Structure 1
Amino acid sequence: MTWTRAVGTGAAAGADPAVRSSHVAEGSRAGRGGRAGWLPARGPARVVPGPRATPFTLCYALVLLGTGLFSHLADPDLVRDLLAHSSTDVVNLAHRPLLSLVASGVWVAGGLLSPYIVAFLVVVGALERRLGGLRTAGIFLLGHVLATLMTELPVAASVAVGQLPDSSLRRLDYGISYGLLACAGALAGLVRPWLRWTLLGGITAALLADLAEFTDPLTDWGHLLALAIGVLAWPYVRRAAQRRVPGPSGRAPRSA
């Protein structure tokens, strides 16, 4: 899929080919001037994060690579203790909610060899090229926080009324999957219909298959909720993406 859009004026559209070429060249030079620099590169460079096009994706990926390398090289007992303190279980959320929500998102399940890292670069990078770093970070954070609370708060309530044992208050729950799936759901609203429903259908089928295995139903429900959060953000992300479409001069139009 490609995000680059042809830009021109109505007068130029029916003009002589040489005139149209001149308009395209001028728009290209304006884009390279800086304000239209959000447009992604062509070819393989579209999935490679960079400091100008995708600063959020790049910085976050470096953090994930750092923690992944640490978990691979450090003492296993130390890593286990850090993960336990970073986990977004009910006990940690009750005593240190902000710390656990932030810390749980800097680790990736599976370490350096996790497919989540590749998926993060592709999905979050593509969304950031359309929305910008702050909006993409907001969607990622929204999915990470809301899906966590929507799965852990029912556990706390179930323990309080005696439907679950006290051991359910302590569980190892960390990683970027909730934020990543929220970004994937949001990205689906910005692509062509055939790709949108293929993407959503494939992800949903995989998540339902995991849920059917019933190995970790709480996390599996969290994944489905995170994807739904991204889908519910479609009106917002579409408006935000339209505001970033450059005009004939190569400049992004001002928001009203």
Structure 2
Amino acid sequence: MTSVAEPVGGARVGDGVDPAAAGPGGAAPVLLAGVPRQRGEAAAAVPDPVDAPARRPRQALRPWRLLPTPTGTPFTFCYALLLLATSFYADHGNPSEVAALLQGSSTDVTHLAQAPLLVLVASALWIAGGVTSGFALVFLFVVTALERRIGGVRTAVVFFGGHALATLATEMPVGFSVAAGSLPDSSLHRLDYGISFGVMTCIGALAGLLPAWARWPLVAAAGYQAVAGLLNSSDPMTDWGHLLSLVLGLTAWPLLWHWRAQRSGPAPLLGDLGHPALRAPRTP
């Protein structure tokens, strides 16, 4: 029986050594039994960068994006300036003129029957309670966040669509009740203005574009606010309008998912947005 001498570090044909793993001169690395993570094993354990899934770079936190800017969110920025101007005039203008303007902007049954489009727009130019009210502060953050996700034109559609639909849905029963004799004629001239219906609609809409950890707490907080107002019964028509506006925003989620996908493609802005169409595609 003859034996064949082998050079140290060499390998015979048929030993299962990958030629690509051979070192300089074609010599394959020697793997010692019982020694973990040797050089050859470490090289084999490194995944191919082609097969490895691509990781998105983490975006730095930018707190200033929470507020409107003239270039990033032109609709919210210009609308906020307009509301600031009307609120300043309401606080410092002639009281009789301010009262006349507010009454003329009211979306009561009489004005809706005479000039519906005019009063629906005019009523959204004022903030009930001024710039220090809760809805004014929520407007800045919620409408800004919504516009950054779906754009200015679509945000305006959501805001004014919710404002108009909720207003009509709450005022039309008043007109029918007056005609039926259930309410006095003075109900046809009730003072009704402000941005709260549009803001509540945007809250419900924005919730559908957030990750689950932020979506459901936002819906719960807004729903609690609307239901608490109904239980207090301070202004039932307005409180019903707040709840209806929130529901309108929630029911608009499929449309918002479609808009968001058109605007930014399938990659979500802040992780999984909760809809299959907005998730990053898997590579085969």
TM-score, structure 2 length as denominator?
Answer: 0.72
2:113 aligned to 94, 118, 122, which one?
A: 94
Question: 1:66 maps to what in 2?
Answer: 85
Q: Aligned letter for 1:182?
A: T
Moved over 6 A (4+): none
Counterpart mapping for 1:212-227 below 5 A: 212-227=231-246
Whole-angstrom CA distance in 2 between matches of 1:13 and 1:63: 53
Question: 2:137 maps to what in 1?
Answer: 118
Deviation track 1:52-95 (CA, whole Å, cap 9, x = no partner) reads 21010001000000001111110111111110000000011111
The unaligned stretches of length 5 or more in structure 1 are 1-10, 25-39, 249-256
Q: Aligned letter for 1:185?
A: G
Question: 1:56 maps to what in 2?
Answer: 75
Question: 2:149 maps to what in 1?
Answer: 130
Q: Which has the higher contact order (CA 8 A, sep 6+)?
A: 1
1:14 match: secondary structure: coil
- 2:274 is the counterpart of 1:236: no
Deviation at 1:244, TM superposition (A): 1.9
- 2:33 is the counterpart of 1:14: no
Whole-angstrom CA distance in 2 between matches of 1:228 and 1:159: 27
Deviation at 1:239, TM superposition (A): 1.1
Deviation track 1:11-61 (CA, whole Å, cap 9, x = no partner) reads 77838xxxx89x97xxxxxxxxxxxxxxx9842212121122101000100
Deviation at 1:114, TM superposition (A): 2.0
Q: Aligned letter for 1:75?
A: N
Whole-angstrom CA distance in 1 between matches of 2:176 and 2:69: 44
Question: 2:66 maps to what in 1?
Answer: 47
Relative to structure 1, is the Cα distance of residues 46 and 99 closer, same or farther in structure 2, using a 3 angstrom cutoff? Answer: same
Deviation at 1:118, TM superposition (A): 1.6
Q: Aligned letter for 2:184?
A: P
2:99 aligned to 75, 80, 105, which one?
A: 80
Deviation track 1:171-192 (CA, whole Å, cap 9, x = no partner) reads 1100000011101000000111
Whole-angstrom CA distance in 1 between matches of 2:50 and 2:140: 37
Q: Is the 8 A contact 2:204 2:249 kept in 1?
A: yes
Deviation track 1:101-154 (CA, whole Å, cap 9, x = no partner) reads 110000001113222222111000000000000110000011000000000001
Question: 1:196 maps to what in 2?
Answer: 215
The number of residues matched between the two structures is 219
Pick the structure with greater CA Rg.
2
Question: 2:171 maps to what in 1?
Answer: 152
Whole-angstrom CA distance in 2 between matches of 1:164 and 1:124: 36
Question: 1:174 maps to what in 2?
Answer: 193
CA RMSD, 1 decimal: 2.2
Higher helix share: 1
Relative to structure 1, is the Cα distance of residues 227 and 53 closer, same or farther in structure 2, using a 3 angstrom cutoff? Answer: same
Whole-angstrom CA distance in 2 between matches of 1:125 and 1:155: 33
The unaligned stretches of length 5 or more in structure 2 are 1-48, 268-284
Whole-angstrom CA distance in 2 between matches of 1:193 and 1:247: 17
TM-score, structure 1 length as denominator?
Answer: 0.80
Q: Is the 8 A contact 2:131 2:137 kept in 1?
A: no
Whole-angstrom CA distance in 2 between matches of 1:232 and 1:54: 24
Question: 2:6 maps to what in 1?
Answer: none
Relative to structure 1, is the Cα distance of residues 49 and 96 closer, same or farther in structure 2, using a 3 angstrom cutoff? Answer: same
